[in-house]
A and B are shown apart, each in its own frame.
Chain A
Amino acid sequence: MNWDWSVVDAFMPRFWDGVLVTLQALFWGCLIAFTLGLVWAVAQRSPQKWISWPVTAITEFIRNTPLLVQLFFLFYVVPEWGPSMSPLTTGVIGLGLHYSTYTSEVYRSGIDAVPVGQWEAATALSLPRGHTWRAVILPQAIRRVIPALGNYVVSMLKDSPIIFAIGALEMLGEARGFSNETFTIEAYVVVGVAFLVIAYPASLLLRALERRLVQ
């Protein structure tokens, strides 16, 4: 195989476009996953069955169907009767929704790890339930699970090329487009290295964070 740096050079403008889309998908996807996951986790703890039961059903359903199927559903089926969204927006929602069902499990384990004595103390002080969640339980639970949540940032980064399947031109999409047009392969290597360059420091950062938080 002949490695040609000039091909790499030529790919760069589109590569950066792809990086931008990948990072956008990652950022917004994480935001949705982390927020919605928390909502699921708290809702599943609701004493009201009509809240906890549907939430459990929805999250189980999403977690046990493939992300790719969900993306196709959001992109091709939903517009039949609902809003039609750009590939990137659809991808962000798909990634966020899918991963929220995993982060909700992470939050759940963090919430379970808060000693029952904390709930009892809050009851003994008559703190309202919502306030107990906000001021007592979640601050303790979230601190415990930040490292585990961080792992999902890396997982999501690595899963992000899947949104290329619905036409969002993230890094891999740009590489494929470029390679097909130029009959070269260098762009794929560049993208592979780029994922490593982003993911590896991120995981080191997470380990450092874990050491600081779990003392």
Chain B
Amino acid sequence: MSSDTNTTNDAVNPAVDSNELIRFDKVVKRFGDNVVLDHLDFSVDSGKHVTLIGPSGSGKTTILRLLMTLLKPDEGTIKVGGQYLTHEEKNGKLVPAGEKHVRDVRKNIGMVFQQFNLFPNMKVLRNITEAPVQVLGLSKDEADQRARELLELVGLTEHIDKYPTQLSGGQQQRVAIARALAMRPQVLLLDEVTSALDPELVAGVLDVLRDIAHTTDITMLCVTHEMNFARDISDQVLMFDAGRVIESGAPEKIFGDPDHQRTREFLSAVL
């Protein structure tokens, strides 16, 4: 992908790994007096599948929402593919990014939401083709073709002409995954994508995501309470508490033999 060619002459951090796709640098996010992210530093390499775990309120979802520009950081910077997300460089100074810059960088990121958030006024097909046509400038036929391939991937080909409300929650979520993938993002953000589903529908959605994780080189950043799924697809697990990463490592390590007492407590409570 084009981001592999990004320059590494970064004045702030000269030793940037060229494989690094996402970097949070001293990111602070507050809601009123509540500090949700406290000078958070972390990075994700291209193609990796990273799962964020931790108690609710620890800032996991906030990280995804910052990346999706649904929230703005109060301090610090976020880079995606070597470019600043909410800032841009002008005359050597960092200034808040304009709409166009944000749009350009954000195109590399897709998100699947807990509540699906499909457009109820559009049929399944148009839910998927709308953004590729409007944002990427694909022709109707190209977008249709892409949508059909993705619907096959998520196993919903026969529902192409239905409205979202005619589908089960699990089916809606799979359409939402297809919709996000239709933009061919480098990063897919998954925000508790099975939390709103009936238990018997969870497996179908997780199977699709497993499939995508194992067959594509897309980078995934995933907030989930499905620990088995996390163990299965993750290259790296980050344990959050109180707005900081308190421990990170391979899933075998974090789930099998965590270093941190807080991680052990959390896992024994959820597993």
Chain A residues engaging chain B, CB cutoff 8 angstroms = 115, 117-118, 120-121, 123-128, 131, 135-136, 139-140, 143
Q: Judging by beta carbons under 8 Å apart, are A124 and B134 in contact?
A: no
Partner of B119 from A118, A126, A128, A143 at Cβ < 8 Å? A118
A67 to B268, CA, bound (A): 68
Cα A121 to Cα B112 in complex, Å, equals 8
**Can you list 20 residue pairs at the A/B interface with Cβ under 8 Å?**
A115-B115, A115-B117, A117-B113, A120-B113, A123-B68, A124-B111, A124-B113, A125-B130, A125-B135, A125-B180, A126-B103, A126-B106, A126-B183, A127-B131, A128-B134, A131-B134, A135-B122, A136-B119, A136-B121, A143-B121
Smallest beta-carbon distance B184→chain A, Å: 12
Residues of A within 8 A of B23 (CB): none
Chain B contacts for A128, CB-based, 8 A: 134-135
B69 at the interface (CB under 8 A from A): yes
B115-A126 in contact (CB<8A): no
Closest 7 CB pairs of A and B: A125-B131, A121-B117, A117-B117, A124-B111, A139-B121, A126-B135, A117-B115
- For B, the interface residue count at a CB cutoff of 8 angstroms equals 24
Chain B 40-72 residues near chain A, CB threshold 8 A: 68-70
User: Which residue of chain A lies nearest to B68 when distances are taken between CB atoms in the complex?
Assistant: A124
Chain B 109-125: CB-based contact to A (< 8 A → 1; otherwise 0): 11101010111111000
CA distance A121 to B119 in the complex (A): 8
Chain A CB within 8 A of B179 CB: yes
Q: What's the Cα separation between A180 and B28 when bound, in Å? A: 78
Contact A140/B120 with A117-B115, A124-B68, A127-B131 known, Cβ cut-off 8 Å = yes
**Chain A: CB-nearest residue to B111:** A124
Tell me the nearest residue of chain A to B114, going by C-beta.
A117
Tell me whether B262 is interfacial, beta carbon within 8 Å.
no
A99 vs B162: C-alpha distance when bound (angstroms): 38
Which A residues are in CB contact (< 8 Å) with B101? none
Query: In the complex, what residues of A have CB within 8 A of residue B109's CB?
Result: 124
User: Could you tell me the distance between the alpha carbons of A110 and B87 in the complex, rounded to whole angstroms?
Assistant: 34
- Cβ B113 vs Cβ A126 within 8 A: no
Known: A124-B70, A128-B134. 17 other contacts (CB 8 A): A117-B115, A117-B117, A118-B119, A120-B117, A121-B113, A121-B118, A123-B68, A123-B70, A124-B109, A124-B113, A125-B179, A125-B183, A126-B103, A126-B135, A126-B183, A135-B130, A135-B134
Report Cα–Cα, A208/B220, bound state, in Å.
49
Contact with A along B15-38 (1 / 0, CB 8 A): 000000000000000000000000
Docked pose: A124 CA to B70 CA in angstroms: 8
Q: State how many angstroms separate the Cβ of B173 from the closest Cβ of chain A.
A: 13
